[in-house]
């Protein structure tokens, strides 16, 4: 906040005519960014600090305001449900980030191969990420329906024939997807992979930025397509990869809407994620203090992984130009 | 865009023609490429197809097992279901439209204003403040949720559209970044010329930068529209009365209600996602340009 003082100084100390062009410009500068400054203080910095403070209270935000010290912050580490939620969220993120980044990169590279009708294919792959949200979760819930859903009505006959072919004693059966403890989280992940188009579009933009001269030079030097891919495409795309990985880490650790609609955290808390759990703790049980402490724990976890990605990036991201 | 693809095909097709007698490996690779891309596209399109086929299917056919891929006849009777049920679906749709349009407008106006400040004016701590903008871009939403909720409770804004709109009028960082990156590409000479002609900062912003940045404003608006339309967490927290719901939130109520009528459910979901799809198709060109433009060059 002290950063704002120079603006105030410039305003009060220099009345009327004595404004130098520099001062005028600085004043206008702060005038132009003032909406952001207000928004930052009121809707970002203020709430962040306040939620840290709330973490030290037992509160329903109405009558109860009782200081409890570090109780909630300690509870975050010992509460079985929070640990479960942390684990589930980490499970989701650690599978989702590499898988969706790889998938998006793969599609982008394929579509970048001077393919006919590129913009058509691009639209087909991108469209699912435009409609992300409640409608998609409801759709997938139905596709995953174990008995009459589309997915199993395709899978089960195939598995049945396969079992016959291998003459297995107990025939293979398709998983019960969101109704099964083991498969519920993979189901959520598969649905999320359907939205890989967003990252794909960013990769396509990155691929377009690679100068074609490099490929021509490589061709003259006798490098085949595979060599070109690993020696030109991937290294020059590493900044884009980092960008997508960071975005993906942040989004994955906050997975919420899909699990709320598809499983409500079940079965048996197999898909209880951190944001869902802190939402329940706050807005269903009215334990807003504990929820705030959980929010901070999750925030720190995200921060650690994002910083880790950025820190280690210097060893694998190639910046040219 | 059209120009881009033209130049790309030219530059690649030239060497192809020069070496007509291509080997079998290359042809095989091309065939494989198309097969993979096609199959991937089919898999990506199936959920959509399934939603549409169910929405237009006559009710008797929906529950057949094994499921049938092609509807016997296309009928639109299912699309009436959300409007005649006990829930104010049209109202939700209107709420979503109001919230999404006003959020987009706020984002475009405020972020371009702030973006101009960061791109064009020199003032103390500018770089430091811009780093703050960039880092808040990565800030997860949930950390602000509870205090912001309390703030809106105190303001008496619960069950109104205001909590979903007002924060977007204070320059969300992602859009500031987008605008600033765009303004940086406008030549400084244009500002200087305008200054000599007696234009102030507001004039430079209003007469040069706004007209030149309409495409990026479009990108920003579409992003925000889609995001707000699909948003679930914030409406869930701020809207508790059923008639104040947005479509995304309301769909969830349908779920319990229409359990046995999956064709009604899918018709409702299809209507709910239509606006984002339509807007995407209308503005596709700008949208993809915008993503290319923001560069992500690290």
Task: Name the residue of chain B whose CA is nearest to A34's CA.
Answer: B114
Q: Which residues of B touch A125 (CB under 8 A)?
A: 40-41, 44
Contact B275, B250 (CB under 8 A): no
CA distances from A219 to A94, A225, A231, B23, B50 (A): 37, 9, 12, 16, 45
| Interface contact B297-A127, CB threshold 8 A | no
Chain A: nearest CA to B232, how far in angstroms? 6
Q: Which residues of B touch A134 (CB under 8 A)?
A: 230, 232, 248-249, 251-252, 272
Q: Which residues of B touch A205 (CB under 8 A)?
A: 291-292, 294-296
Q: Which residues of A touch B171 (CB under 8 A)?
A: 33, 35-36, 39
A272 is a domain residue: yes
Chain B: nearest CA to A170, how far in angstroms? 22
Q: Is the pLDDT of residue A14 over 80?
A: no
Contact B229, B275 (CB under 8 A): yes
Chain A: nearest CA to B41, how far in angstroms? 6
| Interface contact A125-B44, CB threshold 8 A | yes
Looking at residue A202, its pLDDT comes to: 86
| Interface contact B169-A35, CB threshold 8 A | yes
Residues A11 and A95 in one domain: no
Contact A103, B36 (CB under 8 A): no
Number of domains into which chain A is organized: 2
Nearest to B233 by CA among A285, A293, A287, A278: A278
Return d(Cα A47, Cα A55) in angstroms, integer: 12
More confident residue, A166 or A278: A278
Task: Name the residue of chain A whose CA is nearest to B254's CA.
Answer: A138
Residues A163 and A239 in one domain: yes
Block means of pLDDT (10 residues each) for chain B, length 298 residues?
Answer: 44 49 79 93 93 89 83 86 87 95 95 93 92 88 92 94 95 91 86 87 89 85 91 94 92 80 89 92 75 51
Residues A246 and A114 in one domain: yes
A209 is a domain residue: yes
Identify which of B114, B236, B284 has the shortest CB distance to residue A35.
Answer: B114
| Interface contact B143-A47, CB threshold 8 A | yes
Residues A133 and A237 in one domain: yes
Residues A178 and A212 in one domain: yes
Chain B: nearest CA to A148, how far in angstroms? 7
Residues A228 and A101 in one domain: yes
Return d(Cα A38, Cα A22) in angstroms, integer: 23
Task: Name the residue of chain B whose CA is nearest to A215's CA.
Answer: B12
Q: Is the pLDDT of residue A320 over 70?
A: no
Looking at residue A298, its pLDDT comes to: 94
Identify which of A36, A46, A121 has the shortest CB distance to residue B114.
Answer: A36
Residues A101 and A248 in one domain: yes
Looking at residue A2, its pLDDT comes to: 42
What is the domain range of residue A14? 1-54
CA distances from B149 to A220, A227, A316, B104 (A): 62, 54, 41, 21
Task: Name the residue of chain B whose CA is nearest to A157's CA.
Answer: B66
Q: Kindly list the structural domains of chain B, giving each domain's residue range(s) and its CATH number in brackets, ordered by start.
A: 8-75 (no CATH), 82-294 (1.10.3720.10)
Chain B: nearest CA to A121, how far in angstroms? 7
Residues A87 and A32 in one domain: no
Identify which of B1, B114, B280 has the shortest CB distance to residue A130.
Answer: B280
A60 is a domain residue: no
Query: The domain spanning residue A113 has which CATH number?
Result: 1.10.3720.10
By CB neighbour count within 10 A (0-12 exposed, 13-18 middle, 19+ buried), where does A139 fall?
buried
| Interface contact A25-B48, CB threshold 8 A | no
| Interface contact B117-A29, CB threshold 8 A | yes
Chain A: nearest CA to B74, how far in angstroms? 20
Residues 47-66 of B with CB under 8 A from A: 47-48, 50-51, 63, 65-66
Q: Which residues of A touch B121 (CB under 8 A)?
A: 25-26, 28-29, 32
Task: Write out pLDDT tens, residues A242-285.
Answer: 989 998 999 999 999 999 999 988 798 999 999 999 999 999 99
Residues A259 and A126 in one domain: yes
- Sign of the Cα pseudo-torsion (A204, A210, A212, A215, in order): negative
Query: To the nearest whole number, what is the mean pLDDT of chain A?
Result: 87
pTM: 0.86
CA distances from B115 to A267, B88, B166, B183 (A): 46, 39, 19, 7
Looking at residue B100, its pLDDT comes to: 96
Q: Which residues of B touch A123 (CB under 8 A)?
A: 284
> Complex ipTM above 0.95?
no
Q: Which residues of B touch A150 (CB under 8 A)?
A: 46, 50, 67
Task: Name the residue of chain A whose CA is nearest to B173's CA.
Answer: A36
Residues A30 and A124 in one domain: no
The mean per-residue pLDDT over the stretch A221-238 comes to 86
Chain A: nearest CA to B282, how far in angstroms? 12
**B199-228 b/e (C-beta count within 10 Å ≥ 16 → b):** bebeebbeebbeeebebbbbbbbbbbbbbb
| Interface contact B298-A319, CB threshold 8 A | yes
A65 is a domain residue: no
A144 is a domain residue: yes
Task: Name the residue of chain A whose CA is nearest to B51's CA.
Answer: A139
Q: Which residues of A touch B249 (CB under 8 A)?
A: 134
Residues A216 and A312 in one domain: yes
Residues 68-107 of B with CB under 8 A from A: none
| Interface contact A7-B277, CB threshold 8 A | no
Q: A16 falls in which pLDDT band (50, 70, 90)?
A: low
Residues A170 and A241 in one domain: yes
The mean per-residue pLDDT over the stretch A193-220 comes to 87
Q: CB distance from B190 to chain A under 8 Å?
A: no
A269 is a domain residue: yes
Best B123, B139, B219, B234 member to test A by mutation, with max A CBs in 10 Å, is B123
A249 is a domain residue: yes
A152 is a domain residue: yes
Looking at residue B289, its pLDDT comes to: 67
State the DSSP code for B21.
Answer: S
Q: How many CB pairs under 8 A join A and B?
A: 264
Return d(Cα B195, Cα B191) in angstroms, integer: 6
Identify which of A26, A197, A254 has the shortest CB distance to residue B142.
Answer: A254
Identify which of B141, B153, B251 has the shortest CB distance to residue A254.
Answer: B141
Q: CB distance from B44 to chain A under 8 Å?
A: yes
């Amino acid at each position: 906040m002290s950063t704002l003082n120079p603006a105030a100084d410039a305003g009060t100390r220099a009345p009327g005519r004595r404004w130098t062009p520099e001062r005028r410009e600085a004043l206008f500068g702060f005038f132009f960014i003032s909406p952001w400054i207000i928004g930052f203080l009121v809707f970002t910095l203020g709430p962040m600090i306040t939620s840290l403070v709330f973490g030290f209270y037992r509160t329903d935000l109405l009558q109860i305001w009782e200081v409890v010290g570090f109780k909630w912050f300690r509870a975050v580490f010992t509460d079985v449900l929070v640990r479960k939620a942390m684990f589930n969220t980490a499970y989701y993120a650690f599978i989702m980030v590499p898988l969706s980044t790889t998938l998006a990169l793969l599609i982008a590279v394929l579509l970048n191969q001077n393919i006919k009708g590129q913009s058509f294919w691009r639209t087909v792959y991108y469209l699912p990420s435009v409609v992300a949200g409640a409608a998609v979760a409801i759709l997938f819930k139905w596709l995953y329906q174990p008995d009459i859903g589309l997915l199993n009505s395709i899978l089960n006959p195939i598995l049945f024939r396969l079992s016959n072919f291998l003459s297995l004693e107990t025939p293979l059966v398709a998983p019960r997807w969101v109704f099964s403890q083991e498969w519920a989280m993979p189901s959520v992940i598969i649905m999320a992979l359907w939205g890989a188009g967003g990252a794909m579009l960013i990769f396509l933009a990155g691929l377009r930025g690679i100068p074609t001269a490099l490929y021509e030079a490589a061709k003259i030097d006798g490098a085949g397509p595979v060599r070109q891919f690993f020696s030109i495409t991937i290294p020059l795309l590493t900044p884009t990869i980092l960008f997508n990985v960071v975005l993906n880490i942040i989004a994955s650790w906050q997975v919420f809407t899909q699990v709320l609609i598809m499983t409500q955290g079940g079965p048996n808390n197999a898909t209880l994620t951190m944001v869902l759990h802190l939402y329940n703790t706050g807005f269903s049980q009215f334990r807003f203090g504990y929820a705030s402490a959980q929010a901070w724990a999750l925030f720190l976890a995200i921060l650690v992984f994002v910083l880790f990605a950025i820190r280690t990036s210097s060893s694998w991201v190639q910046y040219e130009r | 865009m059209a120009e881009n693809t033209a130049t790309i095909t030219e530059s690649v097709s030239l060497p192809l023609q020069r070496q007509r007698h291509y080997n079998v490996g290359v042809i095989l690779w091309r065939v494989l490429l198309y097969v993979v891309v096609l199959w991937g596209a089919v898999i990506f399109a199936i959920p959509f197809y399934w939603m549409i086929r169910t929405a237009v299917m006559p009710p008797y056919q929906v529950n057949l097992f094994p499921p049938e891929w092609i509807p016997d006849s296309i009928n639109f009777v299912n699309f009436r279901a959300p409007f005649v049920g006990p829930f104010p679906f049209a109202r939700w749709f209107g709420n979503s439209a109001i919230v999404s349009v006003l959020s987009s407008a706020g984002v475009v106006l405020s972020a371009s204003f702030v973006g101009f400040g960061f791109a064009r004016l020199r003032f103390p701590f500018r770089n430091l403040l811009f780093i703050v903008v960039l880092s808040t871009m990565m800030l997860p939403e949930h950390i602000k949720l509870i205090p912001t909720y309390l703030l809106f409770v105190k303001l008496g804004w619960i069950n109104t559209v205001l909590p979903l709109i007002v924060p977007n009028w204070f320059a969300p960082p992602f859009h500031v970044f987008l605008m600033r990156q765009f303004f940086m590409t406008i030549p400084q000479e244009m500002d200087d010329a305008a200054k000599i002609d007696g234009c102030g900062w507001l004039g430079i912003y209003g007469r040069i930068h706004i007209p030149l940045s309409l495409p990026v404003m479009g990108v920003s608006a579409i992003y925000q529209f889609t995001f707000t339309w699909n948003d679930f967490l914030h409406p869930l927290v701020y809207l508790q009365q059923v008639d104040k719901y947005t479509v995304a939130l309301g769909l969830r109520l349908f779920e319990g209600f229409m359990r046995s009528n999956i064709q009604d459910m899918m018709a409702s979901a299809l209507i709910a996602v239509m606006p984002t799809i339509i807007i995407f198709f209308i503005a596709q060109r700008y949208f993809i340009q915008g993503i290319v433009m923001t560069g992500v060059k690290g």
